[in-house]
Homo-oligomer: A and B are copies of this chain.
Amino acid sequence: MTPKPKQTATDKREIYYRDRVRQHGQRYRQFHLPSVEVLLNLAYTYNVTATRLARAIGKHGLSLSSFNLLMILSRSGSEGCPLHEIGELLLVSRANITGLVDSLERKGLVERVADKRDRRVRVARITRTGETLLESILPGHYLELRKICSGLNNAEKASLRDLLTKLRHSVQFSQNKKRPRKSKK
């Protein structure tokens, strides 16, 4: 029943993780502290950053995904972009793209067009309204990105970028080595 120092959530998180690391470090032979710390921090930092950006974009009535989709279409211009290609660029499933394009179409920001050369494909194209909206968002967005990173100098940013890239390649490389033989339907 002491006065209770009024812990913040961040404190609680740190205590929790410290405890867990200590216990599991002893209990599990495969526990590797540097790896655990990297991935814990990756998730935590991404979460904080994405939430912050999503809120900013949300003020304009868009989700982060919709915003990124508009960015892709903005680059494609009047040619548009096949839906499956959007999925590859955004790293999400085709089914999800159908839904995202539906919702942007309802808002008049995007339109679907048939592709003449391949009748299976439909192309999404940004509308004039969509371009206008995007251009109204971008200056503030790029300012926000800059502010978010303002605690790191340029050398640190470059270093972080390179280490993230290296980690990503490590993930992808270690994935490809799974199941080296025995592929059975």
- A binding-site residues for B, Cβ under 8 Å: 9, 12-13, 16, 19-20, 23-24, 28-32, 34-39, 41-50, 52-53, 71-72, 75, 85, 88-89, 91, 138-139, 142-143, 145-152, 154, 156-161, 163-175
Is the pair B166, A156 in contact by a Cβ cutoff of 8 Å?
yes
Is the pair B145, A20 in contact by a Cβ cutoff of 8 Å?
no
* Number of this chain's copies in the complex: 2
Q: Note all chain B residues with C-beta closer than 8 A to A157.
A: 34-35, 37-38
Q: Which of B9, B32, B142 lies in contact with A36, CB distance below 8 A?
A: B142
Q: Note all chain B residues with C-beta closer than 8 A to A19.
A: 75
Is the pair B149, A167 in contact by a Cβ cutoff of 8 Å?
yes
Is the pair B48, A45 in contact by a Cβ cutoff of 8 Å?
no
Distance, CA A88 to CA B173, complexed state (A): 34
Is the pair B16, A89 in contact by a Cβ cutoff of 8 Å?
yes
